[in-house]
Amino acid sequence: MHSPFNLSKPIAIGSDHAGYDYKEELISFLEGKGFPFTDFGTHSKDSVDYPDFAHPVAAAVEKGEAAFGILLCGSANGVAITANKHQGIRAAICWGEELAQLARVHNDANILCIPARFVREGDAEKMVNIFMTTDFEGGRHAKRVAKIACT
């Protein structure tokens, strides 16, 4: 399988309580494919604060300790907003396969944010597979992506 990401590094994954079930399904998916991952929690359906899990995932990607990240919460807005506070992070909210592909092709996204309350069962795995196998197109998009960072 071709991947633009260094899959010898773990995939960072995290969620709040609303994304917990899908996170557990995605962990099973990653284990089944033999991909290393780091689970930053949460570890139950008990109510928690999404930044407590989004920041560690984003930090792992930011520091190059993770190949890429996956974050889940009810709408994906909270985790995306939190992750995008980190320099070099391009966290994209995706609720379908085409959006996951475009997040990579056009935006060189490095964290996939999934809105658990708006995604059908099985679609999260499809989005992760597309996200991790799709190359950034570069070209005119590279110029745009280079303008994102606040330095």
DSSP string, 64-128: TSSS-EEEEESSSHHHHHHHTTSTT--EEE-SSHHHHHHHHHTT---EEEEEGGGS-TTHHHHHH
pLDDT at 101: 98
Task: Using DSSP bridges, classify how beta strands 111-115 and 11-15 pair: parallel, antiparallel or unpaired.
Answer: unpaired
pLDDT at 149: 85
Average the pLDDT over 52-76 and give the result. 98
Looking at 21-35, 115-129, 135-149, which range is the least confident one?
A: 135-149
End-to-end alpha-carbon separation of the chain, Å? 35
Q: Which of 2, 86, 106, 141 is catalytic?
A: 106
Q: What is the mean pLDDT of the chain?
A: 96
pLDDT in tens, 25-39: 999 999 999 999 999
Q: Is residue 79 very low, low, confident or very high in pLDDT (cuts 50, 70, 90)?
A: very high
Name all domains of the chain by residue range, CATH numbers in brackets: 11-146 (3.40.1400.10)
Give per-residue burial for 90-121: e unless 16+ CB within 10 Å, then b: bbbbbbeeebbbbbbeebbbbbbbbbbeebee
Looking at 79-83, 109-113, 146-150, which range is the least confident one?
A: 146-150
CB 83 within 8 A of CB 91: yes
pLDDT at 2: 84
Active site annotation includes 106: yes
pLDDT in tens, 104-113: 999 999 999 9
Whole-model pTM over 0.95: yes
Task: Using DSSP bridges, classify how beta strands 91-93 and 111-115 pair: parallel, antiparallel or unpaired.
Answer: parallel
